[in-house]
Amino acid sequence: MCLFLFGIVAVPVCHGQVITEDARAWAADALKKEKSLQTIEGDKTLAVLYFNNRTGQSGLDALQKGLTFMLITDLSTVNGLQVVERVKLQALTDEMRLGVSGLVDAGSVPRVGRLLGAEWLVGGDISGDEGERLYVESSLLDVSDTQVLGQPSAEGLLANFFKVEKDLLFRIIALLNIELTPEERARLEKPLTTDMKALLDLFNAIQASDQENYEK
């Protein structure tokens, strides 16, 4: 079943977003074979974890998966970088019964990285003040030795969340020492949409899909 966002753009989110039985079977098998798992062979394999909503505003919970979705969408187009699919992350989250907060717990992160076959992990927190300003703080982790390679951050108004994501995106790319061509940078600078309501509708649709509430 396909979900569509109607706003500035119409985006099909059926491909690569619905958690299939194959994805759930992969997660169950990964846990069974956990002791023998290694990172994916090859350079530059990255998994983007969900972000914790620390704003105290439950209405912004959709940003937890939404920011991850945006980063994966952009990073997946970067030449030479392998990015773990979000459906694998969600299937593993469900299988381990971790939830968003447990997934990014300091003790769980290295284990999650190995299970996902990732060389690097990035995730973090979204906080905010009493106004509309948001702050995103994240960490880029080398899974093999649990070394923190950097702590990229970004901030901005909720209405400009698309810009906050872009600022964080380019800081992650810089920490990975990836050089972008002018054409690649121009492509990545283009937002999915500048309509915040449309973005929140998309993020809520992803959450509903994860909960198998396809009608919603």
Q: CB of 67 within 8 A of CB of 3?
A: no
CA distances from 214 to 4, 6, 13, 18, 205 (A): 11, 16, 12, 9, 8
pLDDT in tens, 94-105: 888 766 554 555
Rounded-to-integer distance, Cα 112 and Cα 215, Å: 31
Which residue ranges of the chain lie beneath pLDDT 50? 1-15, 39-42, 102
The whole-number pLDDT of residue 78 equals: 95
Which among 119, 177, 173 has a CA at the least distance from the CA of 145?
A: 119
The whole-number pLDDT of residue 11 equals: 41
The whole-number pLDDT of residue 4 equals: 38
Which among 38, 101, 23, 51 has a CA at the least distance from the CA of 203?
A: 51
